[in-house]
Homo-oligomer: A and B are copies of this chain.
Amino acid sequence: MLAPLSRDRIVRAAIQLADADGLAAVSLRKVAAALDAGPMRLYGYIATKEELLDLMVNAVHAEIRPAGDGWRQVLRSVAEATRQAAQQHEWFADLIGGRPQLGPHTLATGDAVLAAMGGVDLDTVVPAVAAVNAYVAGSVRREIAERRAERASGMDIRQFQAANGPYLERTFATGRFPALAKVVRDGPHLSADETFRTGLEFLLDGIEARISS
């Protein structure tokens, strides 16, 4: 015991805590306690809590590797993998895009994507990758936020209206938001998967149009 501790062990402990009880459960005291150490001990390995969060994000990026042939498959695969990572680590959705990430695994992912973009000219590649990243970050965050809200308001409710109960019903009954009410009533009830993929394909289609022009 008193295993010599390391950045890696600290990050792993923090991730375990975050996976189990959410980001709010990651306090330096609890992380340290999980490692049988006093809180101040951690400051020999990390400078600040923000750095720990950055390291956690970087660690998750290690799981995200692009796959497939051609720029379209590559972009799609990294988008899909990012989403999957956020489903395994919901806290990832809160952190993604919140601070510029420059850790080695994050850079490696970016590098692999760019490398796979083949001969596409840089004037297109740069905004295309940025756009996909932005879309994925926003999408995933909203999806996780909705999942949490659902979970918080009774475990088994699926319907959008029922989720927030009487409030929305009353609000729609006022007739102040007719277009919204119509969509909720008549619109398609897309699953999270479908919504994510449809939007992604919109974006990829737009990029493709530019590339092949």
Contact = CB atoms under 8 A, between A and B. Distances in A.
A188 B98 CA distance: 24
Given A110-B180, A131-B203, A205-B206, A190 B100 contact: no
Interface string A90-112: 00001001111010100110111
Listed residue (A99, A138, A176) with the most chain B CB atoms within 10 angstroms of its CB: A138
Interface stretch (A1-9, A14-22, A40-48, A122-130): A122-130
A133 interface: yes
Contact of A126 (B137, B139, B187): B187
A97 B130 CA distance: 18
Total copies of the chain: 2
A28 interface: no
Instruction: Name the prevailing secondary structure of the A interface residues.
Output: helix
A199 B122 contact: no
Nearest to A167: B102
Given A126-B188, A127-B202, A206-B201, A99 B134 contact: no
Interface string A167-202: 110010000111110110011101000110011111
A11 interface: no
Nearest to A198: B127
B99 A199 contact: no
